[in-house]
Amino acid sequence: MSNLDRRRFLTTVAALGGTAMLAGCDRFAGSAYGPRTLKAGEDANLFVQRLLLSNASLAKEFPDSEISAVFKPNGTIDPPDKAYKALAASNFSTFKLEVGGLVERPQSFGLADLRALPSRTQTTRHDCVEGWSCIGKWSGVPLAEVLNRAGLKPQARYVVFHCADTLEYAGGGLEGGKDGAFLQPEYPSAVRHVQVAAAGNDADAWGGAPAEEPEETRTPIRYYESIDLTDAFHPQTILAYDLNGKPLPVSNGAPLRLRLERQLGYKQAKYVMRIEVVESLARIGDGQGGYWEDRGYEWYAGI
């Protein structure tokens, strides 16, 4: 359903009134909360929510024949960070996804652990804000599986993804820095990587081994993103480890990247190292919920 269809549908539901709508709906007649819903008018809202949260809110999935020949890599395509380079050199055998913050049981998953969990495969279209799209087939573990193993605390509201790639340094340590070139949306990655070529001489934010040479004193700003719990538990929200049936290439976010199919490209965090569950986004980055959000992009990037 497109947004427009969805809006029309909601308008129709409103016009009919919840009860009329329910009376004509076989699917809900026998459900446990059907009778209660018929009594309580306000529960029509729940009905509409459930309906929208079922099939109607799934992003379109495509047949394999429509998979793009090349899935265009964008943003960081080869993280300059030393800790990441070491992981890549080990073919990510030492990779651990850390899950912490407002959870009952902090977790740490290697790639084999993640592959042993239930998986989901989906062929979807990625839409970048720059105006291009690609269709790819992603396989991974539903984020819900990972979060359920950790168990959310009652205050949990958002899920934050901390990535391995440094884009710039705090305080404008790089030419351009925060107040210069990096304000340009989607700054060409080739140029950006020349500028951050020295990244990674730091004890790093996602728990990798501290680097051996401590000369680098600047604080790296790494990519990060965040979503709310509705999106976190959406069935198409997965941590993908395969693209088109093969392990994710470095350029597309190896070893693990988020797929969140109802939002734009910049929400699809690549190189995910650590997941942090929080109550508020205020103290993450500059407080807007993502690297690009801190630079003016919308936090909710619905398609």
Residues near ligand MTE, by CB under 6 A: 71-76, 128, 163, 165, 186, 223, 252-253, 265-266, 268-271
Please give the single-letter amino acid code of residue 181. Answer: A
- Residue closer to Mo ion by CB (options 142, 265) is 265
CB of 252 to ligand MTE, least distance (A): 4
Under 8 Å between Cβ of 241 and 256: yes
Provide the strand spans (E) within the chain.
97-101, 107-109, 120-127, 133-142, 158-169, 220-228, 238-243, 246-247, 257-259, 272-278
Q: Considering the complex, what minimum distance in angstroms separates the CB of residue 121 from Mo ion?
A: 23
- Shorter beta-carbon distance to ligand MTE: residue 21 or 159: 159
Q: Which does 259 bind (CB under 5 to 8 A by kind): ligand MTE, Mo ion, none?
A: none
Of the candidates 16, 40, 128, 211, which one interacts with Mo ion according to CB under 5 A?
A: 128
Q: Shortest distance, CB of residue 74 to ligand MTE, whole angstroms?
A: 4
CB of residue 127 vs Mo ion: minimum separation in angstroms? 8
- x-or-dash string of contact with Mo ion, 262-301, rule CB under 5 A: ---xx-----------------------------------
In the bound state with Mo ion, the residue whose beta carbon lies nearer, of 72 and 115, is: 72
Where does residue 202 rank: exposed (0-12), middle (13-18), buried (19+ CB within 10 A)? buried
Q: At what angle do helices 3-16 and 43-53 cross, to 10 degrees?
A: 150
**Out of ligand MTE, Mo ion, none, which partner does residue 72 contact, by CB within 5 to 8 A per kind?**
ligand MTE
Q: Which residues contact 82 (CB under 8 A, 6 or more apart)?
A: 199, 200, 201, 211
Q: How far apart are CA 205 and CA 99, in angstroms?
A: 13
Binding site for Mo ion (CB under 5 A): 128, 265-266
